[in-house]
Structure 1
Amino acid sequence: MSFDTLGLMPELLRAVREQGYEHPTPIQVQAIPLVLEGRDLMGRAQTGTGKTAGFTLPMLQRLAHHANTSASPARHPIRALILTPTRELAMQVEESVRTYGKYIPLRSTTIFGGVNINPQTKALRAGVEILVATPGRLLDHQGQGNLNFSQLEVLVLDEADRMLDMGFIRDIQKILALLPTSRQTLLFSATFTDEIKQLASKFLKAPASVQITPQNTAAELVRQVVHPVDRERKRALLAHLITSRKLEQVLVFTRTKHGANRLSEQLDKDGISSMAIHGNKSQPQRIKALEDFKKGAVRVLVATDIAARGLDIDSLPHVVNYELPQVPEDYIHRIGRTGRAGAEGEALSLVCVDEHKLLKDIEKLLRKELPRDVVHGYAPDPSIPAEPILTGRQGGGGGRSRGPARPRAAAAPAPRGERGRHPSRPGARGK
């Protein structure tokens, strides 16, 4: 099937072809016609399935009849609102809106916390039809009188499950109360939990349902391999794999911000260009790290789970779990960064004795055993005992901590991307 069969206008088809896409993904095949019909939609899809184009393309077409080149802000009221959980995802969604809408004179902008609010205010007052926003900063602008949703036609909640996980439910409820009830609403989520279904039942009207990827199924095109190794030799093994296999554009996951910073510094000392990205980095730092990584100026991007969702990097070939996540589902989201849009990918996990239970939990979720590959010269010493994995400041790489153990909920960082409403940070909105 080609995009020509989905009923999209020539201007959109031209933009799609310029991006090198000829055939729509399964979620695009199912979602685009439904959105064009004006239906409310619940879409379940993992990252990398093409869901962003699945809603941006038909949304652009539905708004195209309002497109104009007038300089008057009044001719460019907000007609579509896309809510995302993180700054990174907001930027990437808005980039897709610009890419696919380049031949349609509709204005778009993005607003999120962590940066100066004044340029955002200026853009809003100039008029935009499509607004991509994180919840906290949107409410900041609403409080300053910068938003008018009286002519809103389309609402999109992207990665709704992550927004709920991050404690945005009250913000979302406040935002919904600001919007016209006569609108089209699209909800996308990696999972359809009871909480998601309950939320959807309150504000979606007879929604169509599109379910593409079975829940908790890893991308089929991702080759997954476990490399057993001692905790103290993880960094050496990682450097060996990158240099000996000439790996480029490698996304590496650690559990903590401290661990990400330390590993990035060590890789630099090994002659492997690296940058870290996590919640303590300023927004300009995070944007620069991502841009340098995308263009190949940086070989390795070391990330905490802030990057497990929302990082949209075309044809990312390699993901490395330097430390396994403590929540098995986060493994799915991590490796979902590769194997996207029909491209093959590779997910390597460096697993020490401390992480054997975490690995078993992941394999139970996947319903299969992951293949082991002991790298020559890095076989683990069977006499080394397991040590508890704590969630304080991480040491060199395995699982030991130099701080006191804390429950996972207390140790978790503020919501990934935007400092949204969160039990540990009441009232913060990522200003």
Structure 2
Amino acid sequence: MPNINEQQDPPETFEQLGLDPRLIRALTKKNIDKPTPIQQFGIPLILEGKDVVARAKTGSGKTFAYLLPLLQKLMSDNNNNNNVLSSKALAPAAMILVPSRELCQQVYSELVSLIELCRVQLKAVQLTGEPSFSEMATTLAGPPDILVSTPACVQRCLSTGVLQAKSVQDSLSILILDEADLLFTYGYEKNLKDLKVHIPKRCQCLLMSATSSENVDSLKKLYLHNSSILTLEDGDGKDDIVPKSVQQFWIQCSDRDKLLHILALLKLDLVQKKVLIFTNTIDTSFRLKLFLEQFGIKSAVLNAELPVNSRLHILEGFNAGLFDYLIATDDSEMKEQEQTDGEKQVEKKKSKKHKKRKLDTEFGVVRGIDFKNVYTVINFDMPLSAAGYVHRIGRTGRAFNTGQSVSIVSPDEMEVFEEIKLYLGENEDTDLTCIAPFPLLEKDAVEFLRYRAEDVARSVTKIAVKEARAQDLRNEILNSDKLKAHFQENPRDLDLLKHDKLLSKKAPAPHLREVPEYLVDPKTQQASKFVKLTRAVMGRNNNNSNRGHKARFKKAGDPLKTFSADAKRKAKGKDFGPKKKKQQV
């Protein structure tokens, strides 16, 4: 199959891609002025009616690469009065199938936003979870032009008769499988195989994926029948695995010192906001949240245990900038390992009286979800594979933006860390360094905080974590129905509930909220000032946002007063961070 990298001189503007002026105006209103590589090559192929397998990195613009030509086709059909969705049609003209509820909501929101900005008469709906017959019938009444759903929901609609097989074959013209490499992983293999018999041969099929895998190859053989298929690749070298706009750093410490180091990073303002923190287990997420809130650092937690309405609200709140720190549990690889290595133990656990809380199998934080304007990704726990690392880091540096990642690595995690460096192309025989030691955190600054950090860490016991986890879940379950009803009527009201509220029984001690100057090393103070200045220059200083937090305005001060010639000179160089001064005696 032809490779996208073999083609030259792609269109440089959306106008050159041949998009409808209404779509271009909508993109302008969204402050999107130029197409990404996947859009430059993918949109013309899709508009030509070809089946496409599009592989590109996370954050490369795959969603708009298929939404824009999809809407163009439907608008063109309307203009030519030959829309397949005539009054006789009983099924959608297009289906977008995704692996998770969060991704479904994300795609649906972008789709509706484009339709509204274009001011066209197209109807899009979404279906996830296990909807009742009446919910499915109401949602698909009409029918809509576009259905965004999971494979299980579509199969449920067909098996219950809400969607008739013949109607689907008569009406469906475009089928899009987004995050195609995850669809089998999330357990939709049988649904997709059963669904295949209902897809008409004339239907154009698109497979969008971040990686190549056996699952993508299986779907390709199952659904694609057009011989003119092109595989789109966004770069073919190791240097392109992580965007060059993302700076990667690491900190080596013992497992018990991880809390101490993340406290120093956040409390001393050594990383730029917004910050997405990854852990491998739900308990670790709550332990970290309880620890940080004792120092006045508010955060929200996101995991598969929470109700879907709460998860969506947390994501919207974080993306809207209502809080700066989100702790996300990425247990996908942990669950895969448990399934392969611990099947017998799982069976034993099932027989016990107290079963584990049911987790949502359609939930995943590493792939698919669009965390907007994330500047820093912190790996509090290292992922179990190099691929997991790349997908986590892909949450920042999206759509031509810059970002950074900081991985806190314990001795037990050094083996996977070395595998990650090899995967990224780092080699002892060359000068290439993909992940550099974090330059802004002096050892003295960490040691000055040790007593306070260890004292608070001892108070975050297993019992405290268990109680906080249960309390948070109870709160979210009670609020879930309120969220669903409220946001149906008030979709823009994100401030109804606070997800970054305190969980500990005791309020944070006042003396822990601020770090006294005598505890902060002068070099670290200079580094913190440099980060704040950089944040202000890049327009990322959240203290200047319109959020009404007066205390933050007072605390921030004038970033220009922290400017130094040394910091300016260093900012122009290749290294990250201020120029170190000689220590004063």
Q: Given the two structures, how large is their TM-score scaled by the length of structure 2? A: 0.62
Whether the 8 Å contact between 1:31 and 1:54 is mirrored in structure 2 is: yes
Query: Which segment drifts farther, 234-243 or 115-124?
Result: 115-124
Equivalent residue of 1:350, what SS?
strand
Structure-1 separation of matches of 2:437 and 2:130: 41
Aligned: 1:35 with 2:46: yes
How far is the alpha carbon of 1:171 from its aligned partner?
1.4
Describe the shift of the 1:327–1:144 C-alpha distance in structure 2 as closer, same or farther (beyond 3 A). Answer: same
Q: 1:38-71: per-residue Cα shift (whole Å, max 9, x none)? A: 0000111111000110010001111113449xx9
Q: Does 1:300 align with 2:325?
A: yes
1:286 aligns with 2:311: yes
Residue 16 (structure 1) aligns with: 27
Match of 2:150 in 1: 134
> For 2:111 and 2:87, how far apart are their aligned partners in 1?
19
The 1:141/1:236 distance shift into structure 2, 3 A limit, reads: farther
Q: TM-score, normalised by structure 1?
A: 0.82
Amino acid in the other structure paired with 2:390:
I
Pair 1:324 & 2:390 matched: no
For residue 95 of structure 2, what is the aligned residue in structure 1? 81
Percent identity at matched positions? 31
- CA contact 1:229–1:378 (8 Å) conserved in 2: no
Q: Is 1:92 aligned to 2:113, yes or no?
A: no
Letter in 2 for 1:143: S
- Name the structure 2 match of 1:403: none
The verdict on how the C-alpha distance between 1:380 and 1:236 changes in structure 2, with shifts beyond 3 A counting, is closer
CA pair 121-277 structure 1, distance change in 2 beyond 3 A: farther
Distance 2:446 2:296 in 1: 25
Larger radius of gyration: 2
Which is worse superposed, 213-222 or 88-97? Answer: 213-222
C-alpha distance after superposition, 1:186-240 (max 9, x if no partner): 0111222244224313321221221114387122211110011221121232232
In structure 2, the residue matched to 1:387 is: none
| Counterpart position of 1:249 | 274
Partner of 2:231: 209
Residue 173 in structure 1 maps to residue 193 in structure 2: yes
1: CA distance, partners of 2:69 / 2:55: 17
State which of 226, 247, 259 in structure 2 corresponds to 1:223. Answer: 247
1:359 correspondence with 2:417: yes
Query: Which structure shows the bigger proportion of residues in helix conformation?
Result: 2
- Tell me the secondary structure at the aligned position of residue 6 of structure 1: coil
Q: Aligned-pair RMSD on alpha carbons?
A: 2.8
Question: Within 2, Cα distance between the matches of 1:190 and 1:229?
Answer: 32
* Equivalent residues, number: 385
Q: Tell me how far apart the structure 2 counterparts of residues 327 and 195 of structure 1 sit (CA, whole Å).
A: 18
What are the within-5 Å matches in structure 2 for residues 58-137 of structure 1? 58-67=69-78, 77-102=91-116, 103=118, 104-113=120-129, 119-137=135-153
* Residues 1:372 and 2:437 are matched in the alignment: yes
Provide the rounded CA distance (Å) in 1 between the counterparts of 2:161 and 2:121. 26
Cα 1:118–1:358 shift into 2, 3 Å: farther
Partner of 1:277: 302
Match of 2:257 in 1: 233
Q: Which stretch shifts more, 291-300 or 106-115?
A: 106-115
Q: What amino acid is the match of 1:50?
A: G
What is the rounded CA distance, in whole Å, between the counterparts of 1:243 and 1:87 in structure 2? 34
- 1:7 is matched by which residue type in structure 2? G
Q: Structure 1 residues 37 and 347 mapped into 2: Cα distance closer, same or farther (>3 Å)?
A: same
1:353-397 deviation per Cα after TM superposition (whole angstroms, max 9, x unaligned): 11111101111111124211273237999xxxxxxxxxxxxxx89
Q: Secondary structure at the match of 1:178?
A: coil
Q: Secondary structure at the match of 2:437?
A: coil
- Whichever residue aligns with residue 10 of structure 1, its letter is P
Counterpart selection for 1:185 from 198, 202, 205 = 205
Partner of 1:179: helix, strand, or coil? coil
Tell me if structure 2 keeps the 8 A contact 1:228–1:351: yes
**Deviation at residue 82 of structure 1 after TM alignment:** 0.8
Tell me how far apart the structure 2 counterparts of residues 215 and 74 of structure 1 sit (CA, whole Å). Answer: 50
User: Residues of 2 paired with 1:75 and 1:8: CA distance?
Assistant: 27
Which residue, out of 149, 161, 176, partners 1:156? 176
- How far does residue 75 in structure 1 lie from its aligned partner after superposition? 6.3
In the alignment, the residues of structure 1 paired with residue 195 and residue 105 of structure 2 have an alpha-carbon distance, to the nearest angstrom, of: 20
**Paired residues of 2:406 and 2:438 also in contact (CA < 8 A):** no
Instruction: Write out per-residue CA displacement over residues 276-314 of structure 1, whole angstroms, 9 at most, x where no aligned residue.
Output: 111111101101211121122222111122211112133
> Can you give the 5+ residue segments of structure 1 that lack an aligned partner in the other structure?
382-395, 398-431
User: Is the contact between residue 228 and residue 380 of structure 1 (CA under 8 Å) also seen in structure 2?
Assistant: no
Larger RCO (alpha carbons 8 Å, 6+ apart): 1
Conserved? CA contact 1:32–1:57, under 8 Å: yes
Residue type of the partner of 1:155?
A: L
**For the residues of structure 2 that align with 1:214 and 1:164, how far apart are their CA atoms?**
25
Aligned partners of 2:219, 2:267: CA distance in 1, in Å?
48
Instruction: Name the CA distance, whole Å, in 1 between partners of 2:321 and 2:275.
Output: 10
The separation in 2 between residues aligned to 1:138 and 1:238, in whole angstroms, is 44
Contact 2:91 2:144 in 1 (8 A): yes
Q: Distance in 1 between matches of 2:368 and 2:34?
A: 23
Q: Which runs of 4+ in 1 moved over 6 A?
A: 114-117, 378-381
**Contact conserved, 2:319 with 2:373, CA < 8 A, in 1?**
no
| Distance across 1 between alignment mates of 2:444 and 2:63 | 41
Distance 1:73 1:259, change over 3 A: farther
The equivalent residue for 2:18 is: 7
Aligned-pair CA distance for 1:11: 1.1
